[in-house]
Amino acid sequence: MRRRPGRPGRPLEGMDEATLFRAAFPEGWEEMRRVAREEEPSDGVVRERWEAVLELARRALSCPVPRSEPVKSAADVFERYRYLVGDSPVEVFLAVLLDVKHRVLRDARVSVGILNGSLIHPREVFATAVAERAAAVVLVHNHPSGDPSPSPEDREVTRRLRSAGGIVGIPVMDHVIIGSCSFYSFREEADW
Q: Flag the least confident range among 74-78, 115-119, 175-179.
A: 115-119
- Measured in Å, how far apart are the chain's first and last C-alpha atoms? 34
Is-contact 133 106, C-beta < 8 A? Answer: no
pLDDT at residue 125 is higher than 60: yes
Is-contact 138 93, C-beta < 8 A? Answer: no
pLDDT at residue 1 is higher than 50: no
Q: What is the mean pLDDT of residues 135-142?
A: 96
pLDDT of residue 128: 93
The residue that leads in pLDDT, 191 or 127, is 127
Mean pLDDT computed over every residue of the chain: 85
pLDDT at residue 80 is higher than 70: yes
Per residue in 24-79, pLDDT tens? 888 888 888 888 888 877 778 888 888 888 888 887 777 665 666 899 999 999 99
pLDDT of residue 64: 67
Torsion of CA 9, 14, 16, 19, to 10 degrees: -60
Domain ranges of the chain: 17-61, 74-185
What homologous superfamily is domain 74-185 in, according to CATH?
Cytidine Deaminase, domain 2 (3.40.140.10)
